[in-house]
Structure 1
Amino acid sequence: MTQPIKIHVLHTGTVIVDEALPFHRPTDRPLAWTGLFRSKKHRVEVPVSVYLIEHPQGLILIDTGWNTVNRDHQLRNLSFQWPVNKANLPAGQAVNEQLAAMGIKTSDLDYVLMSHLHCDHADGLSLVRDAKHILVSEEEWQAANHDHMRYLPHEWKGVPVKAFHLAPSLDGAYHRSFDLFGDGSVKMIWEPGHSAGLCATRVQSYDTDKYVMLAADAGYAAKSWEENLTPGVVIDRAEAQKSLNYIAKVAQDPKCVECLANHDAAVRPHVITL
């Protein structure tokens, strides 16, 4: 029997948004997700999750959550995106602080894999800049460095990010993925729509046919695929719907131990062992 794979589900604070941002409904007016001219009754506060994977081939972090700078200089940090995404990061909940509490230095991380580079996922990149490898899909890297409305490039300034190639495969709605170790145990699966290079992460057990799907923002919560609610923020809603359909199918697979979205208020920090 091989060494088990452990997935630590961590919450790096919360994000305060209009409910139309995570959960788009056909009745929403245009730009409802911005929260502008909407009552406070539409605001929701949801967790910002990251995942630490203890893998036989190394330590892997999926996403980085909020940066500690938001505690004192949030408006300056989040800039024009602040009215839409407000950060709440209590003491001790930043990713580097949680790793330290576990006895892990950020330099111990073998890989940081980014699902995508929106602010609530990439803001903590500078906190883990000394990880051995920091990777994101080519599609996302290109979009993030050209689209300055959806992204905040200062979040990765000075951080040694490298892009990975999504190869043809049988994985996902679009049949492209990146196999981190070449053995199928950790795959980044392309699920565009919310962003150009969004990737879900599939973590497969070595000893059984069981796996965990980390859906990123293909759906913001289990509610997304259960009620067929695509994200409010999309670059292509048809693509986002196709990606959500795939995640909905995965969530029903008996082999899937857990299917987790990054912002599900019903999910508490816990550890999954495969």
Structure 2
Amino acid sequence: MKVHIWHTGRVYIDQALAFREKGLHPIPYSGWLRGENKKMWVPVSTYLIEHPKGLILVDTGWNEEIRINQKKHLGRLAYSMFRGELPVGESIVDKLNEFGVKSSEIDFVFLTHLHSDHVSGLSHVQDAKKIFTSELELKSANKKVGYIKSMWDGIPIDTFILEDIPYGPFNKGLDFFGDGTLFLVHTPGHSEGMFSLLVKMNEGWLLLASDVGYAKKSWEQMILPGVTSNKIHAKKSLEWIQNFSQRKDCIQVIANHDSEITPFTIGES
């Protein structure tokens, strides 16, 4: 088992989007009427898991269209709140080419949730053998504002139904292969159907925490993301991440947008 941590561009956001603030501004996470001193660049991560039962891509990063016309790609509202950057060599297309894998050779694409920085590049890998997200997330994303539905429109996405598992804030998710090596863990709050991944490595558990928290300090200091679909659920999910990170058999917890994480591979001999 190997897990490759890649950065597929970065995103320019208000710091309150990553780390919730209290103040007079009603929606500081929007960045509206906030100075440049409140803004920050954070990476947009994807993960390639070499599992004995298949090659798995987790999230897709930015689409290459963002290099030439991101206002059109994101839409006016999103573009007014954040900006993306995708240097040459960092798109999911670039990363897969460098790795020597075609998108059609990917067995599974997991979309932890359907916010734009996680699904923007989906069209680049739409010929993967299977694309999955949670049923709850897809239903929610198709109904609510805050999602850019054109990013998955016309692309076949399979969904999974939550089952009882021994992990997570609600003990819900999916033992994907049925052998205890890969759990999709229901960790809602930032979005209704978001999930994290528990990967069984030789040394212990690797937890890919998606956007439950934006960085390690999120669960160490219990700082929620600025945007939540359910604050109570978000807090419970972050508490579970905090508790799991303290387990002796947890080798690492990785947040998707942590600036302290640089690309590397876990599981190399």
Normalising to structure 2: TM-score of the pair? 0.97
Partners of 1:70 and 1:229 in 2: CA distance: 30
Contact 1:20/1:28, CA 8 A, preserved across alignment: no
Aligned to 1:243: 237
Q: How many residues align?
A: 267
* Contact kept? 1:19, 1:33, Cα under 8 Å: yes
RMSD: 1.1
Helix, strand or coil: the match of 1:267? Answer: coil
Q: Which residue in 2 is equivalent to 1:111?
A: 108
Q: Distance in 1 between matches of 2:32 and 2:4?
A: 36
Tell whether 2:143 aligns with 1:150: no
Match of 2:254 among 250, 254, 260: 260
In the other structure, the counterpart of 1:199 is 195
Letter in 2 for 1:152: I
Separation (CA, whole Å) in 2 of partners of 1:212 and 1:36: 36
Cα offsets for 1:233-268 (capped at 9, x unmatched) = 111111101100000111111211110000000000
Are the aligned partners of 2:165 and 2:175 in contact in 1 as well (CA < 8 Å)?
no
Which residue is 1:34 aligned to?
A: 30
Offset from partner CA, 1:43-70 (integer Å, 9 cap, x none)? 0000000000001111000100100000
State which of 24, 29, 51 in structure 1 corresponds to 2:20: 24
* Structure 2: runs of 5 or more not aligned: none
Code of the aligned partner of 1:94 = S
1:85 to partner: Cα distance: 2.1
Which AA in structure 1 matches 2:139?
A: Q
Amino acid at match of 1:247: I
**For residue 53 of structure 2, what is the aligned residue in structure 1?**
57
Structure 2 counterpart of 1:92 = 89
Do residues 273 (structure 1) and 251 (structure 2) align? no
The offset of 1:29, in angstroms, is 3.2
Any conservation in 2 of the 1:65–1:120 contact (CA below 8 Å)? yes
The AA in structure 2 aligned to 1:267 is I
Q: What is the TM-score when the length of structure 1 is the normalising length?
A: 0.95
Rounded to whole Å, the distance in 2 between the matches of 1:22 and 1:195 is 14
* Correspondent of 1:212 among 190, 200, 206: 206
Q: Which residue of structure 1 lines up, in the alignment, with residue 221 of structure 2?
A: 227
Q: In 1, are the aligned partners of 2:21 and 2:28 still within 8 Å (CA)? A: no
Provide the C-alpha distance between the structure 2 equivalents of 1:85 and 1:248, rounded to a whole number of angstroms: 28
119, 135, 154: which is aligned to 1:138? Answer: 135
> Which stretches in structure 1 are left out of the alignment for 5+ residues?
none
Higher relative helix content? 2
Q: Amino acid of the residue matched to residue 44 of structure 2?
A: V
Q: Please say if residues 23 and 230 of structure 1, whose CA atoms lie closer than 8 Å, have aligned partners that are also in contact.
A: yes
Partner SS state of residue 218, structure 2: helix
Distance in 1 between the 2:98 and 2:54 partners?
Answer: 19
* 1:206-244 deviation per Cα after TM superposition (whole angstroms, max 9, x unaligned): x55x11000000001101111111000111111101100
Q: 2:180 aligns with which of 177, 184, 189?
A: 184
CA distance in 2, matches of 1:135, 1:19: 30
